[in-house]
Amino acid sequence: MHPAALIEGHEQTWSWLALGLTGAVVLAFLGLFLGALISILGSRLTGGMKLVWVVFAFCAPFLGSLLWFVFGRRDASEPARR
């Protein structure tokens, strides 16, 4: 086999790998974002707090979704203080 053909084959392999990895990252991001939205809307928070979290998730999709699962969800599961 000609060396140029081997190099071209490796380039194609790397491009498919990069495309697959990019697709996996995009799907993971969408899953995180949609999961956060569903979790926010289904939580026991008041309507105003739900709106704040949803707006935050839309303004900063990755950070907002991540912060919801780290901090917001835990706060939403606690009983309301009176």
Question: pLDDT tens-digit profile of 5-33?
Answer: 556 667 888 888 999 999 999 999 999 99
Q: To 10 degrees, what angle do helices 47-59 and 3-41 make?
A: 160
Residue pair 73/43 in contact (Cβ under 8 Å)? The answer is yes
Show me where the domains of the chain are located. Answer: 3-77
What was the pLDDT predicted at 1? 59
Q: For 67, how many CA atoms within 13 A lie in the half-sphere containing its CB? A: 13
Determine what percent of the chain is predicted with pLDDT higher than 70: 83
Report the share of the chain in percent with pLDDT over 90: 62
Handedness of CA 39, 45, 46, 49 (dihedral sign): negative
Q: 74 versus 50: which is more confidently predicted? A: 50
pTM of the predicted structure, to 2 decimals: 0.74
Residue 64 CB neighbours (<10 A): 21
